[in-house]
Amino acid sequence: MTRHTRNGRLALGALVALSLGVVSGCGSDDAASSDEGPVTITVATFNEFGYEDLIEEWNAEHDDITIKQVKVGTWDDAKANLYTKLAAGSGLSDVEAIEGDAMPAILAESDAFADLTDPELDGRWLDWKAEAATDADGRMIGYGTDIGPEGICYRADLFKKAGLPTDRAEVAGMMETWDDYFALGEQFLAKVPDTAWYDSTGGTAQAMLNQVENPFEQDDNTVAVDNPELRAVYDTLTANVEKGLSTRLAQWSDDWVASFQNDGFATMACPGWMLGVVEGNAEGVKGWDFADVFPGGGGNWGGSFLTVPAQGDHIEEATEVAAWLTAPEQQAKAFAAKGTFPSQVEALDAPEVSEATNAFFNDAPVGEILANRAEAVTVQPYKGPKYSDILQAFQAALLRVDDGSQTPDQAWDQFVSDVEALG
């Protein structure tokens, strides 16, 4: 497996203190053990990992180790807690989930995490997934959970209202490029002007950036945001705001969640893990479907890792739990529960994955679709140590255009200044 050296420190201010603040062996606030009882291993997650039934299964079969899930709504919530408690040197869960875009920054502080390298697990993950959690010294600090091959979720009932085809194969044929996708959106708005074409500017930006090889940083970690590919994504999306294609809502906000229930939009970019989010937010809404297409080819959005902070009291038990949760058998079950598409090689051929359909999405063959979408991925954006922070600044710039507080040029200029301020 090819190894890439990753230089640099975590860009967020709270993490500057990591090298001083992390004290190996400090106990987790949530973990507990007793000579007379089982060790409790806390597993901190965000969004939907599909672990609820798995944890029940483990706890029913193990007397020595009990798993307790600590779940928050978004990665931003989890990140704030992670960074604060890493700097403090204590208080983290025994197992901490890390969003994929944040791993390059976390790898720069890999000494704050246990080395999970295990020869018996070699070959468990897709090569690029394993590499993304391996530091410059060859230490694996994260076990891969899911990956995020993307298709398009759409409201077939709203398509019908606009006079557009609703069959998923026909829909796929109409959005093979981003130009096709946005042009179809303008057709839709002409017939259904009170409903946006896609769920958010930020979400669509993320989808498009997943097809850019070096959106923010060059391969040597040099920051280069004033590049034509990034500017083209920005200009396209900000122009679409004026056209009304976007809801102009911040993804994951309360208003965004509410928009699923009030016909707020007709389409959205959907990695596998998003299927569970859509179903949860759109509970009771009929008409959702899932098309085997992604404008521009393929794209991978997200996917996470399980890490074991070195500050914990139960490193061995936490590692055992992390390895079990990310085994192919468990990841196939997690996919069946929440649509989190596995990163484990053996899980890709499991019947729970390959033959999976989803009743909420009009019985779409989601396993087959996501496998096709995974095969279509040809670009993995380079993500240096500052990727996550720059992405946050980029999303903030788009949101300022969404809410009308700045013009596109003003928001871009502030974005460039914000990136420069990262140092």
Torsion sign (Cα): 248, 254, 260, 261: negative
Torsion sign (Cα): 331, 334, 335, 340: negative
Tokens of 171: 């829909």
Q: How many C-beta atoms surround the C-beta of residue 193 within 10 A? A: 9
End-to-end CA distance of the chain: 32
Nearest CA-CA partner of 334 in 143, 51, 97, 69: 51
Q: Write out the DSSP string of 287-323.
A: -EEEES--TTS--B---EEEE-BTT-S-HHHHHHHHH
323: Cα within 13 Å, side-chain hemisphere? 17
What is the helix, strand, coil percentage profile of the chain, to 5? 45, 15, 40
Residues forming a β-bridge with 125: 344
Torsion sign (Cα): 197, 389, 106, 43: negative
Please tell me the predicted confidence (pLDDT) of residue 36: 62
The DSSP bridge pattern shows strands 65-72 and 37-46 to be: parallel
Inter-residue contact 367 to 356 (CB < 8 Å): yes
The DSSP bridge pattern shows strands 288-291 and 150-155 to be: antiparallel
pTM of the prediction?
A: 0.80
**What are the residue ranges of helices labelled H in 67-177?**
75-88, 103-107, 127-131, 156-161, 168-173
Q: How many C-beta atoms surround the C-beta of residue 33 within 10 A? A: 15
Residues in the chain predicted with pLDDT less than 50, given as ranges, are 1-34
Please tell me the predicted confidence (pLDDT) of residue 200: 98
Name the phi and psi angles at 275, rounded to 5.
-60, -40
Residues found in the chain = 423
CA separation for the pair 156, 164 (Å, rounded): 9
Please tell me the predicted confidence (pLDDT) of residue 8: 33
Domains of the chain: 13-147+303-354 (3.40.190.10), 150-297+379-421 (3.40.190.10)
The edge-to-edge listing of strands for the beta sheet with 150-155 is 196-198, 265-271, 150-155, 288-291
| Amino acid (1-letter code) at residue 394 | F
